[in-house]
Structure 1
Amino acid sequence: MAGKEREITLRFLAEPADVNFGGKVHGGAVMKWIDLAAYACAAGWSGKYCITVYAGGIRFVKPIQVGNIVEIRAKVIYTGRSSMHLGIDVRAGDPKYSERHLTTHCIVIMVAVDDEGKPTEVPEWMPESEHDIKLRDSAIRLMEMRKKIGAEMEAHVTT
Structure 2
Amino acid sequence: MSDPFKSVNASKVTISELMLPSHSNFSGKIHGGYILMLMDQIAFACASKFSGHYCVTASVETVDFLNPIEIGELVTMKASVNYVGRSSMVVGIRVDSENIRTGKVKHCNSSYFTMVAKDDSAQNIEVPGLILASPDDIRRFYKAVHRIQSRKSNADHSDTFDSTTKEAIDNLSNYRVQLKSK
Q: TM-score, normalised by structure 1?
A: 0.90
Matches within 5 A, 1:99-138: 99-138=104-143
Q: Write the letter of the residue equivalent to 1:82.
A: S
Q: Write the letter of the residue equivalent to 1:119.
A: N
Match of 2:50 in 1: 45
1:52/1:13 CA distance change after superposition, 3 Å: same
Cα RMSD between the aligned structures?
A: 2.0
Is it true that 1:96 corresponds to 2:101 in the alignment? Answer: yes
Per-residue deviation, residues 76-106 of structure 1 (Å, max 9, x unmatched): 1111111111110000011235442210111
Deviation at 1:24, TM superposition (A): 0.2
Match of 2:164 in 1: none
Give unmatched runs, 5+ long, in structure 2.
162-182
Is it true that 1:74 corresponds to 2:79 in the alignment? Answer: yes
Residue identity (%): 32
CA distance in 1, matches of 2:37, 2:160: 26
1:97/1:123 CA distance change after superposition, 3 Å: farther
CA distance in 2, matches of 1:86, 1:154: 30
Give unmatched runs, 5+ long, in structure 1.
none
Deviation at 1:21, TM superposition (A): 1.3
CA distance in 2, matches of 1:150, 1:28: 27
Task: Select the structure of larger CA radius of gyration.
Answer: 2
Q: Write the letter of the residue equivalent to 2:95.
A: V
Per-residue deviation, residues 10-54 of structure 1 (Å, max 9, x unmatched): 111111111011110011111111000000100110110000001
Q: TM-score, normalised by structure 2?
A: 0.79
Is it true that 1:147 corresponds to 2:152 in the alignment? Answer: yes
Is it true that 1:59 corresponds to 2:57 in the alignment? Answer: no
Deviation at 1:67, TM superposition (A): 1.1
Per-residue deviation, residues 114-150 of structure 1 (Å, max 9, x unmatched): 1111110111112121121111000001001112334
Match of 2:18 in 1: 13
Q: How many residues align?
A: 155
Deviation at 1:153, TM superposition (A): 7.9
CA distance in 2, matches of 1:101, 1:141: 27
CA distance in 2, matches of 1:142, 1:50: 21
Q: Secondary structure at the match of 2:129?
A: coil
